[in-house]
Structure 1
């Protein structure tokens, strides 16, 4: 989603360092009293939210195949009707009972992140087209100077994925599968590879 130029100013980039969890998830870091709960934690929905409830889990994996233990992952997505709860979207039409944004630190023992959310709908695009249902991911960790942005698409949405305007712009089609989650039981698994043969496609936005 693009904001008007000048609406939001970009902050200077710097490495996340070892303090990202203290600033973004103080309760997770053992610091109580800043927020009642860490911002973005917990389910993105309530009992009135429209849409199919889903679980997303995964790891951020380095070039050596190791799961990072200190990564912080955020997601941003549309609601079940493909609308974002944002001032720049069609005001008042997005589901008011859906948060649309979540934040999760990786487990300090396993590195796994988990989100409880809903499956998004197709997102309107230019010229009457639609983007396939997807969820945007943003990743920070030690040594990453600028947060990495990528997307997760759904394996059962083959027809919609084939018509998605962003996926169509990826030159090397063999890399498209790095953006497709896999279904394991009742959960979608989406591992984000920072480097290596299975490096995830990242977007310069």
Structure 2
């Protein structure tokens, strides 16, 4: 017997909710003893790592301009020579003293995230042109159905940024600054805006 068309209804979509911290950063969530430390936490570079040390700091803001206090951010980047720590890397061996990947929950009181890393080298685009130094970001939080991907470039790399083939593809040039981290000494400030006039450019990857 045929059922009415409205008998089976679509279930609500799911978001990261509060459980992303329990699964990805259990120590941060107060569940100790699963890992000695949460995966991806701590400095990405050691004393032996080649390259210029930097700290990336920022907030993830919602459409009303308030910082999210439950966001989880991951970054992925090349080493100082532009080589990724990846099995698919074919251009040479990456710096064995550099992780190339980090994970950081936003501070539950302020929402700020921070990564201790190095400034990456330039990586070739698919056609061989060099991209400017950049760091790839992945953001999840409650209310975000799919993780958001974006990039952070460096304000002290104006020439390389002008040559970057990805930045060149952005039609609305007034939005390019949303991808530029502001350098101040060894700190780079990169705030991510989910909506609004300052909305960060996100990539469909």
- Residue 32 of structure 1 is matched in structure 2 by 32
Q: Distance in 1 between matches of 2:102 and 2:43?
A: 8
Q: Secondary structure at the match of 1:131?
A: coil
- Residue 79 of structure 2 is matched in structure 1 by 79
CA contact (8 A) 1:74 1:104 kept: yes
RMSD in angstroms over aligned alpha carbons?
Answer: 1.2
- Residue 68 of structure 1 is matched in structure 2 by 68
- Residue 4 of structure 1 is matched in structure 2 by none
> Which blocks of at least 5 consecutive residues in structure 2 are unaligned?
1-12
Cα drift, residue 161 of structure 1: 0.4
Deviates further, 91-100 or 186-195: 91-100
- Post-superposition CA distance 1:145-175 (Å, at most 9, x none): 1000000000010010001011011110000
- Residue 171 of structure 2 is matched in structure 1 by 171
- Residue 151 of structure 2 is matched in structure 1 by 151
Cα drift, residue 37 of structure 1: 0.1
TM-score (norm 2): 0.91
Q: How does 1:18-57 map to 2 (within 5 A)?
A: 18-57=18-57
- Post-superposition CA distance 1:13-52 (Å, at most 9, x none): 9410111101000000111011000000000011111100
CA contact (8 A) 2:83 2:91 kept: no
- Post-superposition CA distance 1:42-100 (Å, at most 9, x none): 00011111100100000000000000000000000000001101111126521111100
- Residue 198 of structure 1 is matched in structure 2 by 198
TM-score (norm 1): 0.91
Q: Distance in 2 between matches of 1:96 and 1:185?
A: 26
Q: Which has the larger radius of gyration?
A: 2
CA contact (8 A) 2:83 2:92 kept: no
Q: Distance in 1 between matches of 2:204 and 2:127?
A: 23
- Residue 10 of structure 2 is matched in structure 1 by none
- Post-superposition CA distance 1:156-195 (Å, at most 9, x none): 1001000101101111000000000112343100000000
Length, aligned pairs only: 193
> Which blocks of at least 5 consecutive residues in structure 1 are unaligned?
1-12
4+ runs deviating over 4 angstroms: none
Deviates further, 79-88 or 122-131: 122-131
